[in-house]
Amino acid sequence: MTLRLFNTLSGQLDDLVPSDGKALRMYACGPTVYDFGHIGNFRTFLAVDILRRFLLLTGTKVRHVMNITDVDDKIIRNATAAGISIGAYTAPFELAFLEDLEALKVQRPEQLARATEHIPKMVELIQKLAAAGAAYQTEDGSWYFRLAAFPEYGKLSKKDLSGMEDGARVDVDEYEKDSARDFALWKAAKPGETSWDTAIGRGRPGWHIECSAMAMEYLGESFDLHAGGEDLMFPHHENEIAQSESVTHKTFARHWMHVRFLLVDGRKMSKSEGNFYTLRDLLLKGYKASAIRMALISVPYRHQLNFTFDGLIEATNAIERLRTFSQRLKTGNYAPGENPALQEAAKKAQADYLAALSNDLNTAEARAPIFDLVRAANTAIDQGQLLAGDRDAILSVLASFDKVFDVIQDSDAEPTRKAIEWAVQAGREADVAPELVGRESLTDEAIDALVAERTLAKRQRNFSRADQIRNELAEKGIILEDSKDGVRWKRK
């Protein structure tokens, strides 16, 4: 099954297939590790995760590279203020980023690339640009890209840049939205700032050059797909194209994927607006990592998504429905055989699910047939019409759904436990929701042991002890369900 994905460069849906016939080579712009990421950032990383997982599910290998921007204006400013090296400043934020990815079940790219570890590659690229007449050095020793040397500038964002001023320059990493100017490739060292001594002088890289240099280092001069949030289309991605194609004269990335923003009350969620939540903020309020994942992926990536707490509750309930159903299927006793109507329903759900994802990763449409199937199967179970062969067919649809959505398999306890641990260390105990306190201290094994003790107490007709255990567990958010197949427990 071939994925039809919107391509910003061509302005239409294009087939996304590995051009070398082997693996899909893709580059996604990663975080600037100057602070904790907010869930807007993670919406973009999750959208790329959905892409990646769909490719893997449908049998396409991927080679996925993501950069970590560990040097930029903000990092230098903050590290200087804190009186520490940029490495010491960024390390905890990089670690937090990777932990947050794990909590949200975003698969790790095959290659993570830190900007500070690829300075020689960037210098080499700037030298090639200079040789091609596309880069020049200013009096202070900085290097700039000459926009006039790349007539195709603007082909990705389709901006009308006819009013572009020749030779006007910009050197900050935070950009004005609509001005196209010669941009910094290399910034000459300033006293007290981190810098590298190189063949093009002492200084540090501009932001854009890192992605060109690292993408080509790991994926070659021309590769399949480049992704990032919609704000990166201009100027960052436009600049990446200019820097790369001026040297190689080959198409840098054939396919460009841009993820629309996560909004809060109609405005972009961002650090500068102050309207943001980090993953940790939400975990500490008692929302589960799976619900945050589900809420962020359920609106297709090309639509803006408005963040609301109602949305998180809807996602929580949707996951609960799937998990309860999956448990019901796995633990029930079903007579042998197959019910043709359910077999047909399972086949149709699977086909509709894959078709929706292959149509520009339409996650909203992909969810719907799965929930329809759950409804039909629940009714069939109630009426005694679901047979063992149907159970297997439906479980395999759920497994395929979870290969991309990854919310049914419950591993929510760990991210919450880690967030609480982090809050305690960071002196933010006050932010931990009261209902979480004490709950995560019980391991699965400890709960199993208490449940077994309760079963024994009941068998010995020691009902007061049995009730005491049930109540103790309830206080810690553990709910027991007695069924004919024994006792099941779950975390609230």
Choice between 46 and 211, CB closer to Zn ion: 211
- Could you say whether residue 76 binds ligand AMP (CB under 6 A)? no
* Count of Cβ atoms closer than 10 Å to residue 227 Cβ: 27
Task: Give yes or no for residue 300 binding ligand AMP (CB under 6 A).
Answer: no
Among 5, 9, 16, 29, binds ligand AMP (CB under 6 A): 29
Tell the smallest beta-carbon distance from residue 29 to ligand AMP (Å).
5
Q: Which residue has the tokens 């109630």?
A: 382
- Give which of ligand AMP, Zn ion, none residue 306 binds (C-beta under 5 to 8 Å, depending on kind): none
- Number of Cβ within 10 Å of residue 66's Cβ equals 21
Considering only 206, 229, 300, 369, the residue that binds ligand AMP (CB under 6 A) is 229
- For the chain, how long is the longest CA-to-CA vector? 89
DSSP structural state of residue 359: B
Tell me how crowded residue 484 is: count the other CB atoms within 10 A of its CB: 7
Tell the smallest beta-carbon distance from residue 240 to Zn ion (Å).
6
Nearer to Zn ion, 220 or 389 (CB): 220
What are the C-alpha distances in Å from 22 to residues 53, 59, 61, 73, 421?
A: 16, 11, 7, 39, 43
Q: Which of 3, 16, 25, 32 binds ligand AMP (CB under 6 A)?
A: 32
Shortest distance, position 267 Cβ to Zn ion, whole Å = 24
Q: How many residues form the binding site for Zn ion (CB under 5 A)?
A: 2
Among 53, 121, 146, 268, binds ligand AMP (CB under 6 A): 268
Euclidean distance between CA atoms 188 and 171, whole angstroms: 11
Taking the complex as a whole, how short is the minimal distance between the CB of residue 212 and Zn ion, in angstroms?
Answer: 8
Per partner kind, with CB cut-offs from 5 to 8 A, the member of ligand AMP, Zn ion, none near residue 211 is Zn ion
Q: In the complex, which residue's CB is closest to ligand AMP? A: 229
Q: How far apart are CA 49 and CA 103, in angstroms?
A: 13
Distances (CA, A) of 422 to 212, 215, 410, 417: 35, 34, 21, 9
Q: Which amino acid is at 347?
A: K
Per rule CB under 6 A, count of chain residues that contact ligand AMP: 17
CB atoms within 10 A of CB 178: 12
Q: Which of 3, 16, 24, 29 binds Zn ion (CB under 5 A)?
A: 29
Q: Which of residues 322-341 bind ligand AMP (CB under 6 A)?
A: none
Phi then psi dihedrals of residue 47, to 5 deg = -65, -40
261 binds ligand AMP per the rule CB under 6 A = yes
| Three-state DSSP class for residue 422 | helix
Q: Is-contact 403 57, C-beta < 8 A?
A: yes
- Give the count of beta carbons closer than 10 Å to the beta carbon of residue 94: 17
Q: How far apart are CA 41 and CA 276, in angstroms?
A: 10
How far apart are CB 118 and ligand AMP at their closest, in Å?
A: 17
CA atoms within 13 A on the CB side of 157: 23
Among 113, 269, 387, 436, binds ligand AMP (CB under 6 A): 269
Half-sphere exposure of 354 (CA within 13 A, CB side): 16
Quick check: 64 binds ligand AMP (CB under 6 A)?
A: no
Report the nearest approach of ligand AMP to the CB of residue 49 (Å): 13
Candidates 171-179, 204-212, 348-356, 452-460; binding stretch for Zn ion (CB under 5 A): 204-212
* Residue 211 in the binding site for Zn ion (CB under 5 A): yes
> 3-class SS at 183?
strand
167: DSSP letter? T
What is the smallest separation between the CB atom of 159 and Zn ion, expressed in angstroms?
A: 18
Binding characters for ligand AMP, 343-382, by CB under 6 A (x = yes): ----------------------------------------
By CB under 6 A, is residue 40 in contact with ligand AMP?
Answer: yes
Does 99 engage in binding with ligand AMP (CB under 6 A)? no
Q: Which is nearer to ligand AMP, 31 or 203 (CB)?
A: 31
| Least spacing, CB of residue 100 vs ligand AMP, in Å | 12
Q: Which stretch binds Zn ion (CB under 5 A): 41-49, 203-211, 393-401, 454-462?
A: 203-211
The Cα–Cα gap between 222 and 215 comes to: 9
If one counts every other C-beta atom within 10 angstroms of the C-beta of residue 228, the result is: 23
| Of residues 223 and 401, the one with the C-beta less far from Zn ion | 223
Which of 386, 413, 420 shows the shortest CA–CA distance to 288? 413
In the DSSP assignment, the letter for residue 221 is S
Stretch that binds ligand AMP, among 146-154, 260-268, 278-286, 408-416 (CB under 6 A): 260-268
What gap in Å lies between CA 104 and CA 122, rounded to an integer?
32
Binding site partner of 116, from Zn ion, ligand AMP, none, Cβ cut-off 5-8 A by kind = none
CA distances (Å), origin 440, targets 40, 399, 412:
27, 27, 10
Q: What are the residues binding ligand AMP (CB under 6 A)?
A: 29, 31-32, 40-41, 43-44, 228-229, 231-232, 259, 261-262, 268-270
